[in-house]
Amino acid sequence: MIGDWIDKVEYPQLPAISDEKLVSFLETAQFARLGTFNEDGTIHITPVFFKYQDGQILIATQDPSRKVRNIKRNNNVSVLIDTTEVPFLGALIYGKAELDYDDVISKRITIFEKRLSREEGETYARRLSGKWKCVIVRITPDHIASFDYSKA
């Protein structure tokens, strides 16, 4: 039941996801929310397609986007990947972002394939790259704080 864990916990920090379950979760989750710092110090948060690969988060986006402008100025980022149904499961990733302009279309296709068919992903990637300069945001985690409400 929602909230039953409250009486069982001394501090409201929920148990972490096991390492094995965390990797599986990051490999299968569909969406993430990326947080970057605006020039005035406020936080810009945006939903993104992503892929977890070799310990990094890869995000497909366009170079003129606010998130890319923010990363060029300050590469400290946060990424939230979570479920929206009970029991909640998620990971908050703190890390450094770098911008990758090499072989962008093929990398974007692999990111879009998590949600779209190969053909749809390829069409989408090519349409976007025909309109804007595209980039992959590659995030290397410094710290991952995870939570698993099923353990509460």
Taking only the tens place, the pLDDT of each residue in 99-112 is 999 998 889 888 88
Taking the domains of the chain in order of start, what are their residue ranges? 4-151
Angle at 139 between CA 134 and CA 144, to 5 degrees: 150
Number of neighbouring beta carbons within 10 Å of residue 101: 10
Q: What per-residue confidence (pLDDT) applies to 116?
A: 73
Tokens of 32: 């993430």
Residue with tokens 């990733």: 93
Q: Are 44 and 97 in contact (CB under 8 A)?
A: no
Give pTM, 2 decimals.
Answer: 0.85
Would you give the distance in Å from CA 124 to the centre of its chain? Answer: 19
CATH topology of domain 4-151: Pnp Oxidase; Chain A (2.30.110)
